Chain A
């Protein structure tokens, strides 16, 4: 907790918090833009968790959106069917999603790299089918609509409009702070060691199995919190909200911005999350842009935009002086 608080008070993260608040407030007059900003904030939250798995541990989990979906449907079920408070339903559903995430992470103990990504893709497909076929729980393809916003405890009111925007913004900021704190802790160093070389990590005393399971829990927990917030924020969820494309777009944001950096995935989400809204009338064009971006980033900037920028700055003697020396990434 002390480390978390110390991290949260880092000047760069405080600036991020202020910028986030300013961003939300500046667009609050226009509900469409405010909504786009809110979705971008939820995307930042998701990319933080995905970055922990993919960037820092080297586990490309394409079942990420499925985990978020489990939590979203769980939260919706508990609040709408059983009348639970959102603040009770969200942690229960998010932890439920995280436990499922740990179970789905078991193949990573045997499979590595591309093969694990493939297995997670299969898992994502199974989860998507589950959302469609367990109609009693998910309402199938029709989805669930008119999801109530989170209640404000002890007041009888609820979060809506700007207050809800600020809530998701705060959740996004907290997830970035959490991931930042983790990457600077011994646990974060162990994850980086596992990413670099599992055999060597074991040989210097790191319990690879335990740490992998732990990171799946934390990463999935963040996915779950995002899912729980997404459902009432949008007001509607369906299997398409948490399908493979959703997983891929979160992965793309992380990769485009720069995995294993803190700022990279934020940049990726800021640039890419609004794209579907901006190109609503050109749905096909949106897919083409996404496809082109995936290819361009993989070929031209394997470290992502922010990673490439850092790498360039490291080569420049002047810029190198202002960069902090940190473990695990280009410079962060």
Chain B
């Protein structure tokens, strides 16, 4: 029912380590889905597997009407599912302008590509409009995160998977990024992996908890943060 993303029974192992075992994830087009879990619980493996970076042992992934199981990363992006990385990834030896130019190439002159006005609005929103000639390597981490986001939005994705979008940011920057992510909801569906519980609580409509590759809880943030299993196995103390 208006599901944009459906992953069924995903399994992935690395030798003897089971990174994902039978993970089911369903996301509606109008909701923001969060994923939490301790380090090594399989969150990034999940994103890597559904976006084609990792091959799955078994399971099925649908994005909209398309079966994207085993599809290569660039085809996943073409289908409208973009992602960011835990360690920010931009073309560091190129300028901000060139980073954006390369990202824009995917749609080229397609009718649904961003026009000049849309692009200017996007860059102004992400406060990159006065940094276009700067080298990406010379940007602060927060600017690089915004550039990473701008590059994805240049491709007009239907959904973005964000891997720890506030990781490494200062408290004031986290507040600003939270504002950006709240506004991002109006542009596309969001799937977000985070360790910072405040981000998940404020941003996500629903949260999935992953522990050692298994989904142990799925529900609204308020309920999840009170869930006894989640407190015992991950949070340690209640996050009311």
Residues of chain A whose beta carbon lies under 8 Å from any beta carbon of chain B: 186, 189-190, 192-193, 196-197, 199-200, 202-209, 325, 327-328
Q: Which residues of A contact B105 (CB under 8 A)?
A: 186, 189-190, 205-206
- Which one, B13-21, B27-35, B73-81, B204-212, is touching chain A? B73-81
Q: Which residues of A contact B74 (CB under 8 A)?
A: 202-203, 205-208
- Which one, B85-93, B112-120, B184-192, B195-203, is touching chain A? B85-93
B94 within 8 A of A: yes
Q: Which residues of A contact B92 (CB under 8 A)?
A: 196
Tally the A-B contacts, defined by beta carbons under 8 Å.
73
CA distance A208 to B52 in the complex (A): 13
B155 within 8 A of A: yes
Of the residues A186, A197, A204, A327, contact of B98 by C-beta under 8 Å: A327
Binding site secondary structure of chain A:
helix
Q: Which 6 A-B pairs have the closest CB atoms?
A: A205-B106, A202-B73, A205-B77, A196-B91, A327-B98, A200-B89
Q: Which residues of B contact A208 (CB under 8 A)?
A: 74
In the complex, are the beta carbons of A192 and B102 less than 8 A apart? yes
Q: Which residues of B contact A207 (CB under 8 A)?
A: 72, 74
Of the residues A193, A199, A202, A325, contact of B102 by C-beta under 8 Å: A193
CA distance A203 to B81 in the complex (A): 10
In the complex, are the beta carbons of B93 and A203 less than 8 A apart? no
Q: Which residues of A contact B89 (CB under 8 A)?
A: 197, 199-200, 203
Q: A200-B89, A205-B106 are in contact. Are A192 and B94 (CB under 8 A)?
A: yes
Of the residues A186, A189, A192, A203, contact of B77 by C-beta under 8 Å: A203
Q: A204-B155, A206-B74 are in contact. Are A197 and B101 (CB under 8 A)?
A: no
In the complex, are the beta carbons of B94 and A199 less than 8 A apart? no
In the complex, are the beta carbons of A203 and B91 less than 8 A apart? no
In the complex, are the beta carbons of A204 and B106 less than 8 A apart? yes
In the complex, are the beta carbons of B90 and A327 less than 8 A apart? no
